[in-house]
């Protein structure tokens, strides 16, 4: 959002920049970026291996669609609260009918969740900061050995170095176990999924997971219509101790970099080109050997248009070139193969209803179950104001991870997720919520080492707005 605002202000800034003092000191920006880079490292130091259920997912937004995390879906005319620090506390009860995510060994249990959230949003003439940190506890009635502290954090910083140069940093961090869409009121995110992020709809099993996705980009605003972006980033995923061979998951470490070009043809329509190089290393799994390195070269063309004040669409597509650089055992390596990729999204906001629909097919990370896969997914979200202060969010998605890239392999994992949130504002931003979520996953093939599962969760709780501190303009 800040980037688009800067585009519209560039000519005015160019006229007034000369001869005036900067609002923010460059040293303050440097110190703040240093703290942001150290923040995920300090949390990662806590990641001692533990054998407990679950996974984590990433909500990182790809550079082809903008920098930072995806924006929450809003109603028509709705605006976000600007420049504030918010502190929320929450408590709830949850029922899970398959805590271990294994159909052959189903264990149900009830749990008490205690959560908190710190939000910081600050936007000035040159600096934008969007920070969210959410630690939460799960206290099970029977499975007390799974009582753990979970953590998730998102941060995005955008800084206008000069009237034409913008630098942006984004980081998404998670250290948690379990797939728990039933906890809290998770906002629906808008826009297509990232071509560089981790798989978001296929869940690994029974393992504590650390994940981190970071990106840094520099944008040159050639004019009010044209911009060029250089970017780089990395992502990592690390699982805790794995007690059985059927839970042999791949730790992953990836790097990416590239160039993006964007041209705003009209006030509401933009065209873009994106070139990405991805280099990923996987270790620890069984399906394709203990070690594998893969490289993906991608080229995307995209068009994004706001057809009306309440309707936006994005379409993108292009070729991908995939190869593996070595593996110890398993399926044959791939010397080089082209695949087609593409997708799009539709966002509609109409009065009391807002909805989004996204789909994508590309070669991407296998989410820990496999190394690189052909990933196909479709997601949707519907947000609706009900009577009075009541509101409903319905979201879901389907995904498939296919290992056909490796020719001799025929493993496939399909996932299906859905959830509905019913919320009511109680007092001064505090909310009451009820959530039902369901997850289904099926793996097939000659190996099929991963257990299938069906899982249902129900939660009820209250989120209390402890403090909301305005930061001024």
Choose the weakest-confidence range: 132-146, 169-183, 191-205, 302-316: 191-205
d(Cα 106, Cα 98) in Å, to the nearest integer?
Answer: 5
Asked if pLDDT for residue 436 goes beyond 90, the answer is yes
pLDDT of 150 > 60? The answer is yes
The CA distance from 293 to 295, in Å, is 7
For 445, other C-beta atoms within 10 Å of its C-beta total 15
Least confident of 146-150, 266-270, 370-374: 146-150
Q: What is the mean pLDDT of residues 70-81?
A: 63
pLDDT at 16 over 60: no
pLDDT at 7 > cutoff 50: no
Among 37-46, 290-299, 332-341, the range with the most confident prediction by mean pLDDT is 290-299
Distance CA 350, CA 75 (A): 7
Average pLDDT over residues 463-471: 81
Which comes out higher in pLDDT, residue 438 or 290?
A: 438
- pLDDT for the residue 67: 38
DSSP 24: S
CA 80, CA 78: separation in Å to the nearest integer? 7
The mean pLDDT of the chain is 78
- pLDDT at position 240 is 79
Query: Which carries the bigger pLDDT value, residue 242 or residue 60?
Result: 242
CA distances to 304, 351, 353, 383, 441 from 74, rounded to whole Å, are 18, 10, 9, 8, 30
Lowest-pLDDT range of 179-188, 313-322, 414-423, 429-438: 179-188
Q: What is the pLDDT of residue 158?
A: 93
pTM of this structure = 0.78
Q: Which residues contact 32 (CB under 8 A, 6 or more apart)?
A: 129, 157
Quote helix, strand, coil % in the chain, to nearest 5. 10, 55, 35
CA distance 207 to 242: 7
CA 101/CA 97 separation, integer angstroms: 9
Q: Which two tokens stand for residue 215?
A: 């990106």
- Closest listed residue to residue 52, CA positions, set 197, 180, 184, 202: 180
Residues 254-301 have pLDDT tens digits of 999 999 999 999 989 999 999 999 999 988 776 666 678 899 999 999
Pairwise CA distance, residues 380 & 189, whole Å: 9
Q: What is the mean pLDDT of residues 400-424?
A: 86
CATH architecture, domain 2-470: Beta Barrel (2.40)
Inform me whether the pLDDT recorded for 96 exceeds 50: yes
pLDDT band at 248 (very low <50, low <70, confident <90, very high): confident
CA atoms within 13 A on the CB side of 354: 22
pLDDT at 41: 39
pLDDT of 217 higher than 70? yes
Q: Contact, 232 vs 255, CB < 8 A?
A: yes
Q: Where are the domains of the chain?
A: 2-470
The DSSP line for 263-329 is EE-SSSEEEEEEEEEEEEEEES-STT-SEEEEEEEEEEEEEEEEEETTEEEEEEEEEEEEEEEEESS
- Which 8-state DSSP code applies to residue 246? G
């Amino acid at each position: 959002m800040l980037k688009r605002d800067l585009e519209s202000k560039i000519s005015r800034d160019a006229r007034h920049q000369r001869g005036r003092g900067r609002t923010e000191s460059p040293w303050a920006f440097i110190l703040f970026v240093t703290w942001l880079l150290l923040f995920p490292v300090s949390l990662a130091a806590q990641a001692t291996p533990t054998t407990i259920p679950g996974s984590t997912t990433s909500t990182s937004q790809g550079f082809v669609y903008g920098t930072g995390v995806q924006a929450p879906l809003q109603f028509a005319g709705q605006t976000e609260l600007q420049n504030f620090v918010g502190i929320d506390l929450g408590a709830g009860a949850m029922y899970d009918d398959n805590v271990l995510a294994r159909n052959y060994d189903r264990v149900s249990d009830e749990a008490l969740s205690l959560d908190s959230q710190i939000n910081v949003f600050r936007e000035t003439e040159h600096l934008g900061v969007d920070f969210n940190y959410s630690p939460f506890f799960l206290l099970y009635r029977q499975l007390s050995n799974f009582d753990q502290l979970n953590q998730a954090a998102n941060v995005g910083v955008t800084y206008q170095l000069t009237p034409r140069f913008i630098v942006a940093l984004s980081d998404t961090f998670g250290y948690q176990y379990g797939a728990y869409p039933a906890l809290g009121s998770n906002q629906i995110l808008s826009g297509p999924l990232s071509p560089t992020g981790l798989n978001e709809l296929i869940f690994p099993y029974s393992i504590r997971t650390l994940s981190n996705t970071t990106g840094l980009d520099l944008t040159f605003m050639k004019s009010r219509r044209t911009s060029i972006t250089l970017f780089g980033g990395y992502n990592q995923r690390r699982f805790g101790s794995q007690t059985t061979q059927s839970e042999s998951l791949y730790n992953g470490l990836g790097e990416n970099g590239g160039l993006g070009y964007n041209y705003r043809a009209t006030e509401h329509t933009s065209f873009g080109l994106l070139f990405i190089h991805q280099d990923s290393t996987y270790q620890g799994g069984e399906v394709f050997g203990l070690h594998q390195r893969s490289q993906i070269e991608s080229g995307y063309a995209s068009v994004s248009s706001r057809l009306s004040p309440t309707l936006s669409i994005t379409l993108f597509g292009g070729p991908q070139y995939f190869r593996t650089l070595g593996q110890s055992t398993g399926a044959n390596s791939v010397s080089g193969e082209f695949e087609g990729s593409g997708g799009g999204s539709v966002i509609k906001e109409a009065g009391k209803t807002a909805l989004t629909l996204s789909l994508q097919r590309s070669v991407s990370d296998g989410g820990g179950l496999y190394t690189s896969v052909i990933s196909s997914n479709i997601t949707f979200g519907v947000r609706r104001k009900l009577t009075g202060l009541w509101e409903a969010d319905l979201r879901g998605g389907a995904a498939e991870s296919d290992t056909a890239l490796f020719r001799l392999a025929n493993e496939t994992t399909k996932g299906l997720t859905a959830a509905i949130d019913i919320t009511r504002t109680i007092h001064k931003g505090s909310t009451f919520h009820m959530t039902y979520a369901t997850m289904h996953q099926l793996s097939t093939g000659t190996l099929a080492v991963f257990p299938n599962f069906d899982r249902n969760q129900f939660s009820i709780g209250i989120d209390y707005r402890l403090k909301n501190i305005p930061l001024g303009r």
